[in-house]
Amino acid sequence: MLQSLALDLGAFADRTFCSWERGWRSLLLQRRTFLPEVEDAVIPAVAEHSIFLWVRGDSAVESGADGRWRSGRSVPGTVAMTAPGRPARLRWRALSAEPLESIELRLPAATTARVVEELWDRDPARVRFPDTLATTDPLLRQTLVGLFEAAQAGAPDLYAEAAAEFVAVHTLLRHGGLPLPRAVRGDDERIRRARSFLRENLHKTLSLAEIAAEAGLSRYHFLRLFQRQTGETPHRYLTRLRIEQGREELQRGSATVGEIAARCGFANPASFSNAFRRETGCTPSAYRRLCGHPQG
């Protein structure tokens, strides 16, 4: 269980979304609406690296530590970060009539520690994790918005797991001052093994760790090599394989949409239908009718 889940911010913010409730365990993504003015908000330290993207409203914000205050401006697109193990003391005042809303990402300590050890061969306790009141990062902004949309759409935890690896590396490189990790040499045989593993296990709930282990690579190196050689992320590749199998099953016309969804590794018929429509432009039932099978 992540420590961030136990944080009670109800005195100054309402939580309107939580990815934990959607089955994600590789990271925690939440959306909150804040009071327009708060004089002193003390947020306890947690083990997770915390990243906040302001998505609505305009406010003047200050952060206090060691008797000193630093000030910033939070507008849509502004990113703030709190390092693991560091408490936060904040005060803010809205400068617009719009509600103040943010998307909040918490990266598990195990993820950030593994990334530091695998890529830089360093002790995570000696690494300076990013901590900033207000900065800009277009790539991080797009990633958090994309994660929020994916969580709402019912994307599996594999999607969140890959994103957690990427965000951890990106923030340490761009905002933590670490050098570029050593380049990985291409090895087609490793990726061929991973692709075969995905094809043979479409019906299962797969984790990034399992797929990377099949390739004999760390998670981050596997993601880089897989995308470089296939042009797709493992999640996108797996989804496409599942949809291809779903199309074949629908063409045969012998099973229900619910049965096909389960065989193809989707959590429920709705998730299968949404993914199928994004891939083909029509629902499974409509596709089946086009193939001459009237049953749903």
Q: Which residues of the chain have pLDDT under 70?
A: 183-187, 293-296
Q: Which CATH superfamily is domain 3-151 in?
A: Jelly Rolls (2.60.120.10)
Measured CA to CA, the distance from residue 215 to residue 188 in angstroms comes to 10
Domain ranges of the chain: 3-151, 188-231, 247-290
Tokens of 10: 């109800």
The tokens describing 288, both together, are: 């089946």
- Residue 121 is predicted with a pLDDT of 80
Residue with tokens 């695998």: 118
Phi, psi of 28 (to 5 degrees): -120, 125
pLDDT in tens, 268-279: 999 999 999 998
In this predicted model, what pLDDT tens digit does every residue of 61-74 receive, in sequence order?
Answer: 999 987 789 999 99
Looking at this protein, which amino acid is placed at residue 133? L
pLDDT of residue 183: 65
Opening angle at CA 148, ends 142 and 154, nearest 5: 130
Question: Cα dist. 197→134, 191, 204, 207 in Å?
Answer: 43, 10, 11, 12
Q: Is the dihedral of CA 195, 197, 198, 200 positive or negative?
A: positive
Q: If one looks up domain 247-290 in CATH, what number appears?
A: 1.10.10.60
